[in-house]
Amino acid sequence: MEENKYAVGPVNYENYLTCPYNSAHRIMPSRFSKHLISCGGDRSLHRCPFNGTHLLSAAAMKDHVIECPDRCSLERYKMPDTLPPAEPQANKFLVETEDDWDADPRAQPYDPKNYLKENHIILNPKGNPPAARREFRERERKRFLENNKF
């Protein structure tokens, strides 16, 4: 019998981030913000106003705020005309066609209550007391006879 063998490579710790509270903690980038909440740690570290996962001391924070790579998103929001766009704008092109959907005649909107009145559709009233159900069935019989559907 042949055994299934799976090759498992070594963990690539280069892509992992180090916890600012405990340097022994190595976390995947996708789980880093959740880890910071659960780890807690040193309260003397300050969060960057542009990215909550940037935790630094007060002295280092002054320099970091000026050089933070996530600052450009705020700058782009505050001054959209002065900075180049984040992504290049798509080419605008026109498609020439002979169809004019605005020229089509307006269709009447669908009215389900009107459709039920005009067609032989059996309705089932739910949640009504017995007297109301009897009255409803009697109205339906009359409706079917008027429409010559019964």
Express each pLDDT in 67-110 by its tens digit. Answer: 888 887 777 777 777 666 667 777 777 778 888 777 877 788 88
Q: How far apart are CA 62 and CA 48, in angstroms?
A: 10
The answer, as to whether pTM is greater than 0.95, is: no
Q: What is the pLDDT along the chain (150 residues), one digit of tens a residue?
A: 456 666 566 667 678 888 888 888 888 888 888 888 888 766 778 888 888 888 888 888 888 888 888 887 777 777 777 666 667 777 777 778 888 777 877 788 888 888 887 787 877 788 889 999 999 989 888 888 887 754
Domain ranges of the chain: 13-78, 112-146
Q: Which helix (H) or strand (E) holds 27?
A: strand 26-27
| Count of beta carbons in the 10 Å neighbourhood of residue 43 | 7
- Cβ proximity of 72 and 79 under 8 Å: no
- pLDDT of amino acid 5: 64
